Amino acid sequence: MTPILPAYSLMDHDIARARPLPTTGVGASLQRKEDRRFLAGEGEFVGNIKLPGMLHVAFARSAVAHGRILAVHKPAGFEDAVFTMADLEAGSPPVGPIRVLSSLPGFKPSSQWPLARDKVRQVGEPIAMCVAASRAEAEDIADAVVADIEDLPAVVDMLEARDAPPALVHEEWGDNIFLETLVEGGLKGDAFEALKRGAAVKVHRRLRTARQSMAPMEGRGVVCSWNTRLDQLEMHTAAQMPHINRAGLSETLGIDQASIRVIAPDVGGGFGYKGILLPEEICLAWLTRHIGRPVKWIEDRREQLIANTNCREHHYDITVYADARGRLLAIDCDSVIDSGAYSSYPFSACLEAAQVGSILPGPYKMEAFRCRTWSVSTNKPPILPYRGVARAGVCFAIETMVDAAARAAGVEPHEARLASLIEADEMPYDNITRKHFDSGDYPEAIRRAMQAIDLPRWRARQGAAEPDGRLIGVGHAVFCEQAAHGTSVYYGWGIPMVPGHEQCGARMTPDGRLELRIGAQSHGQSLETTLAQVANEILGIDPDHVRLVHGDTGMTPYSTGTWGSRSMVMSGGAVAEACALMVERVRDIAAHLFQVPLDQVMLAQGRVSDRAGGHSLTLAELAHVWYRQPQRLPPGVNPAGLEVIGGYKARVDTGTFSYACHAVAVAVDPGTGAVELLDYVIVEDAGTLVNPMVVDGQIYGGTAQGIGTALFEEMRYDSQGQPLASTLADYMLPGATEVPAPRIIHMETPSPYTTFGQKGMGEGGAIAPGAAIANAVNDALRPLGAELTELPMSPRRVMAAIAASRAGGVIGSPHAAKGQAA
């Protein structure tokens, strides 16, 4: 497709700077339109929805991690209120399992039945659906459901699952491996071996990142009913990608997609947790039709923590080779991902590992790269791509290794990075795994970060003992955030959902307002504001006169939805294209009305006029003529009117590359292991910022979550596969007292491939904190000879690392290889 819009004029950094600060269009820090309802408590979330005659659902869930189901007993007197997979399969058509395949060779698919059949493979797996007049009564019934389950050994640790499994999660596979991949680049074979032998610096570590629970403020929730007039399922669900949920419901329920309408209302945070087809959605869809009543299920926090999907659990056995000044030469890595019990819809069990294999080199140049990955199945919940997806683990791995190499070489870590990074004048740059870096100046980001954190100040402070005995450290990390990845990337990763072209439907109403319909969905991204800014930029229309319709399959064009920091690039591009088409329609109507040639008609500041100055109409006046006074329009006017579909795909679909350097100073208490963040600087380049205030908000929120990854969040399991956190008292999230106010410094290198030069940037904040804080903590512990190699850096792990170094200089916490200790 050829975009209607010419290359946009904001392509040059300096021109963008020279423009007066915009107040409404692209670049304006416009206050969020959606906050009017959110701040007044007037949003509408799934939990707010009440339908006449609505019943409530609770699920009886497995208490064991792995077992064979012998029987499920419905409580006496409640046989009509309890449903098992046998009931769902007895319907016509029968409900089927969720099966999500990777197209990569060797992938082994899993069958996830919406209610467990034959086996349970994780604690919390739904076994029976219970319906009652209230949730409390439904929970009473669920408590009375008895499942006879023959225990099987639980597969808990991913390395054990791969190397010495106590059992098979999916017996038909013969092992516990969804997929094994190998990614190589640069020198191979003997040449690689020679490089290894000749490298001045070689560092090897085993690194581990904890399994995390994504914890949006609003959990999942479903309300659905069957509309008999339309013969259509109507489902409200807290979802990021309603069109994908519709497709998945169709496949598992065996009904056509037009008979399903999925609506995502206001959604209170997604972060990847709501980018999934839920077993509960399938169950409730079947139930509402079966009993002829609206039904509702709201996930509670305990279900969220113990039963539903997790994220982030990685292991790296990694060796980095560098020259004598710390410049990277090669990476050799074996990485294992704990993908959990099932392959989730639509991202599959392999997205995380596919990313690890291809993005581990980060923004560094090197001569050889080899990474083998295993996506392993265990008796734990499936993992989903959480904000930043594999990048948080990858950044932790590569950036702690760069620091380790710098320490080994005896240079400052930023010097090692500057020696290895892609330079600005090499952009665009195809790296060793053929990632296409679109633009940017990574070394400059590091230089600015070092200046802002004031490295010499912290080095000086380290020289003098702290009065309270704490140890001071300073560290940083750099990363790239590939966003809005398109067709080629997802096809290449074998993911069954491949994004293509994005559309926006635009309609001018008879009073000159604008309705925009997009298939992406907001779960906090501020799209109602930022896309109105795009419309303002093209059409000149007041952003308050723009209404965004999204999150509803019945009203919007198909889209894979909101994930991968894609909406500002993809929907932003589509809105721009639709508005450009609308400009042409408006001009055509005006030319006929004014009786002047088309090239004499111009549209500026929401007003259409002829260049001679004889005629002028507001958009509202023109729309009124088109809809209400067609008698005034001469023959020959384009009958298509003021309703258009604009489509967009980036010229180069490999994605935009935002990047940042996070630099942090810490104090580590050697008496308790506590880590305090003393200063935090972020130098970030997301290209053209459509709304800088919204961008800063994304960075703050992401960074808070990254601090959780670094220091707090950990979903632990015992040897039987029992989750050890069932409340937020046990699963520790950072709060206001743990998150400092980061100082954000923007660079603005527009992407050469997007409409305004904008780059996706919604995830970056969450990527670097684990790595940056680990580097700072290890810097602080260096005098003790201690080093941490596992996230989160809980006080217990910090103390264990200190104790291990005292006991004999073992690098890393003693738990890194096994992973079950806290």
How many residues sit close enough to another protein to count as binding (CB under 8 A)? 28
Binding residue for another protein (CB under 8 A) from 48, 672, 719, 820? 672
288 binds another protein (CB under 8 A): no
- Is 738 a binding residue for another protein by CB under 8 A? The answer is yes
Residue 300 CB, nearest distance to another protein (Å)?
4
Stretch of 284-292, 528-536, 726-734, 754-762 contacting another protein, by CB under 8 A: 726-734
Binder of another protein out of 673, 687, 757, 765 (CB under 8 A): 673
372 near another protein, judged by CB under 8 A: no
Contact between 732 and another protein (CB under 8 A)?
Answer: yes
Q: Rank residues 79 and 468 by Cβ distance to another protein and give the closer one.
A: 468
* Piece of the chain touching another protein by CB under 8 A; list 202-210, 486-494, 670-678, 694-702: 670-678
* Residue 499 or 734 having the CB closest to another protein: 734
Nearer to another protein by C-beta: 693 or 803? 803
Query: Does residue 136 touch another protein according to CB under 8 A?
Result: yes
Check binding of 820 to another protein (CB under 8 A). no
Task: Give yes or no for a contact between 554 and 263, defined as CB atoms under 8 angstroms apart.
Answer: yes
Among 510, 735, 783, 809, binds another protein (CB under 8 A): 735
Q: Which of 799, 801, 811, 816 binds another protein (CB under 8 A)?
A: 799
Task: Enter the tokens of residue 567.
Answer: 């909406």
Tell me if 807 contacts another protein by CB under 8 A. Answer: no
Number of H helices and number of E strands within the chain? 21, 29
Residue 298 or residue 398: which is nearer to another protein going by CB?
298
CA 694 – CA 524 distance, rounded (Å): 10
Asked if 719 touches another protein (CB under 8 A), the answer is no
Which secondary-structure segment (H or E) carries 173? none
Q: Is 107 in the site for another protein (CB under 8 A)?
A: no
Site membership for another protein, residue 135 (CB under 8 A): yes
Instruction: Report if residue 803 touches another protein, rule: CB under 8 A.
Output: yes
792 preceded by a cis bond (ω within 30 of 0): yes
SS3 513: coil
Name the residue nearer to another protein (CB basis): 220 or 436: 220
In the list 800, 801, 811, 816, the residue contacting another protein (rule: CB under 8 A) is 800
Question: What is the spatial distance between Cα 696 and Cα 144, in angstroms, rounded to a whole number?
Answer: 49
Q: Count CB-CB contacts under 10 A for residue 796.
A: 15
- Which residues are registered as beta bridge partners of 631? none
Least separation in angstroms between CB 139 and another protein: 5
Of 632, 635, 636, the closest CA to residue 623 belongs to: 632
Residue of 22, 166, 785, 795 that binds another protein (CB under 8 A): 795
What does the alpha-carbon distance between residue 560 and residue 81 come to, in Å, rounded to a whole number?
Answer: 35
Q: Minimum distance between the CB of residue 674 and another protein, rounded to whole angstroms?
A: 7
From the list 314-322, 416-424, 672-680, 778-786, the region that binds another protein by CB under 8 A is 672-680
Give yes or no for a contact between 240 and 563, defined as CB atoms under 8 angstroms apart.
yes
The tokens of 791 are what? Answer: 């996230």
Residue 410: C-alpha distances to residues 66, 326, 791, 802 (Å): 49, 8, 25, 22
**Does 217 participate in binding another protein (rule CB under 8 A)?**
no
Nearest approach, Cβ of residue 160 and another protein (Å): 24
Rounded-to-integer distance, Cα 213 and Cα 273, Å? 9
Query: How near is the Cβ of 463 to another protein at its closest, in Å?
Result: 25
Looking at the DSSP bridge assignments, the partners of residue 475 are 664
Of 732 and 810, CB closest to another protein = 732
Rounded to whole angstroms, the Cα distance separating 636 from 755 reads 32
d(CA 780, CA 407): 13
Q: Which stretch binds another protein (CB under 8 A): 189-197, 277-285, 296-304, 633-641?
A: 296-304
Q: Interface with another protein by CB under 8 A: which range of 120-128, 168-176, 287-295, 669-677?
A: 669-677
Nearest distance from residue 52's CB to another protein, in Å? 22
| 143 forms part of the interface with another protein (CB under 8 A) | yes
Q: Are 546 and 513 in contact (CB under 8 A)?
A: yes
Are the CB atoms for 699 and 768 separated by under 8 Å? no
191 contributes a contact to another protein by CB under 8 A: no
212 binds another protein (CB under 8 A): no
Cis peptide bond N-terminal to 105, omega within 30: no
Residue 61 token pair: 């869930």
DSSP secondary structure letter of residue 424: G
Q: Tell me: does residue 300 bind another protein (CB under 8 A).
A: yes
Contact 645, 505 (CB under 8 A): yes
Pick the binder of another protein from 18, 70, 729, 741 (CB under 8 A): 729
For another protein, which residue of 41, 217, 737, 741 counts as binding (CB under 8 A)?
737
Query: Applying CB under 8 A, does 461 fall inside the site for another protein?
Result: no
Question: How many Cα atoms within 13 Å fall on the side-chain side of residue 617?
Answer: 19
CA–CA distance, 669 with 471 (Å, rounded to integer)? 6
Distance (Å, rounded) from C-alpha 533 to C-alpha 546? Answer: 9
Tell which residue, 214, 264, 338, 32, has the closest CA to residue 702. Answer: 214
Q: Does 727 bind another protein (CB under 8 A)?
A: yes
- Contact (Cβ atoms closer than 8 angstroms) between residue 610 and residue 629: no
Query: Which one of 29-37, 320-328, 487-495, 797-805 is the stretch in contact with another protein (CB under 8 A)?
Result: 797-805
On whether the CB atoms of residues 515 and 642 are closer than 8 A, the answer is no
8-state DSSP, 551: S
Looking at beta carbons only, is 138 or 199 nearer to another protein?
A: 138
Contact in structure between 414 and 476 (CB atoms under 8 Å):
yes
Q: How far apart are CA 748 and CA 759, in angstroms?
A: 10
Closest CB to another protein among 240 and 304?
Answer: 304
> What token pair was written down for 226?
């069957």
Per-state percent for the chain, helix, strand, coil, to nearest 5? 35, 25, 45
Q: Taking CB under 8 A as the criterion, which residues in 693-712 touch another protein?
A: 712
Q: Which of 13, 99, 202, 302 binds another protein (CB under 8 A)?
A: 302
Give yes or no for residue 355 binding another protein (CB under 8 A). no
Taking CB under 8 A as the binding criterion, the range among 136-144, 203-211, 425-433, 764-772 that sits at the site for another protein is 136-144
Shortest distance, position 39 Cβ to another protein, whole Å: 21
Cβ-based nearer residue to another protein, 301 or 782: 301
- Determine the interface stretch with another protein among 12-20, 247-255, 622-630, 730-738 (rule: CB under 8 A): 730-738
- 451 part of the interface to another protein, by CB under 8 A: no
Q: Could you tell me the smallest distance in angstroms from the CB atom of residue 469 to another protein?
A: 10
Kind of pairing between the strands at 514-518 and 546-549: parallel
Q: Does 813 bind another protein (CB under 8 A)?
A: no
Contact call for residue 762 and another protein (CB under 8 A): no
Q: Per rule CB under 8 A, is residue 810 in the interface with another protein?
A: no
* Residue 510 found at the interface with another protein (CB under 8 A): no
Amino acid at position 748, single letter: E
Residues 6+ apart with CB under 8 A from 671: 469
Element (H, E) at 142: helix 135-144
- Toward another protein, which CB reaches closer, 645 or 803? 803
Closest CB to another protein among 82 and 603?
A: 82
At residue 742, φ and ψ (nearest 5 deg) are: -65, 145
Tokens of 548: 């965004």
Residue in 99, 73, 77 with CA at minimum distance from that of residue 86: 73
140 binds another protein (CB under 8 A): yes
Contact 558, 591 (CB under 8 A): no
Footprint of another protein (CB under 8 A): 134-136, 139-140, 143, 300-302, 671-674, 712, 726-727, 729, 732, 734-735, 737-738, 794-796, 799-800, 803
